[in-house]
Amino acid sequence: MLDHWRYQKRCQTIAQRFRQAGLADYLTESAALEVDTIANTPLIAVDLEMTGLDARENQIVAIGWTHVDGGRIRFAANQHLLINAGQTVGYSAAIHELLDSDVAHGVALEEGLATLFEAARGRVWLFHHASLDVGFLQRASISWAGFAMPFMVLDTLQMELSLRQQRDLPVQHDDLRLNKLRAHYNLPAYTAHNALTDASSTAELLLAIAEKMEPATALKLKPYLTYF
């Protein structure tokens, strides 16, 4: 993982060498992004659905995201893409309720990534359990763009873990799962389970955690950033 200075330098270096205008612009804006509070830091909450948990063997089959601006979720920015992975969804169908016939009509991974990174321009990434999703996105970006994309990330799982550690609170098995944390913060349970629902759920959870730490829009985000 990279600290902020090294993250900026890496983005700038890759942008100078990379000739695809859209990604070069994304990297340049990422390097210049100033992070302060939720109120003035644009975010993109993202969730992936995969055929398994191993980025070396499994594939992305769906991507969902929404934007957070001014400490509010912008549902008009919601997007959910099915990805034609060229691989059976396998046992993950029981979790995501996606069938091979569903993803067969999805867009190519390269198209999905291009749309996602365009939506992420000038924004900090937000995930729940970031290392899993970022691992898949970095591996996919190697095939797509020729390099592992740098990421500046907020992770609601790690933020809640940090909060509990600071308060010397115990963490039991599965306490940090998305649905369990939402219940802990009295957020509604969603019956549908897909990448967009989980991305929106993560955005809502972030605002609930922020409200607990500080008035939601005033929480300083820099201490919680992780760099990949």
**Taking Cα atoms as reference points, which of 49, 47, 51 lies closest to residue 91?**
51
Question: Order of strands across the sheet with 72-82?
Answer: 72-82, 60-69, 43-50, 124-127, 152-155, 226-227
Beta strands in the chain (DSSP E): 43-50, 60-69, 72-82, 124-127, 152-155, 226-227
pLDDT of residue 160: 96
Burial of residue 164 (CB within 10 Å: 0-12, 13-18, 19+) is middle
Residue pair 49/98 in contact by the 8 Å Cβ criterion? yes
Q: For residue 86, give both structure tokens.
A: 């060229």
Tell me how far apart the alpha carbons of residues 133 and 60 are, in angstroms, rounded to a whole number. Answer: 9
Domains and CATH numbers, the chain: 35-227 (3.30.420.10)
Tell me how far apart the alpha carbons of residues 122 and 125 are, in angstroms, rounded to a whole number. Answer: 10
Walk along the chain (228 residues) and give the pLDDT tens digit of each residue.
569 999 999 999 999 887 777 889 999 999 999 999 999 999 999 999 998 899 998 989 999 999 999 999 999 999 999 998 665 555 554 455 565 556 667 899 999 999 999 999 999 999 999 999 999 999 999 999 999 999 999 999 999 999 999 899 999 989 999 999 999 999 999 876 799 999 999 999 999 999 999 888 899 999 999 999
Burial of residue 65 (CB within 10 Å: 0-12, 13-18, 19+) is buried
**Phi, psi of 42, rounded to the nearest 5 degrees:** -70, 140
Contacts of 93 (CB under 8 A, 6+ apart): 99, 100
Q: What is the pLDDT of residues 168-181, one digit of tens each?
A: 999 998 999 999 99
pLDDT of residue 90: 58
- Please count the CA atoms within 13 angstroms of the CA of 95 that sit on its side-chain side: 14
83: amino acid identity, one letter: I
* Partner residues linked to 44 by β-bridges: 67, 125
Name the DSSP letter for residue 175. Answer: T
Tell me how far apart the alpha carbons of residues 55 and 51 are, in angstroms, rounded to a whole number. Answer: 9
pLDDT of residue 94: 44
By 3-state DSSP, what share of the chain in percent is helix, strand and coil, each rounded to 5? 50, 20, 35
> Which pairs with CB-CB distance under 8 Å and at least 24 residues apart come from 27-31?
27/150, 29/121, 29/122, 30/121, 30/122, 30/150, 30/152, 31/7
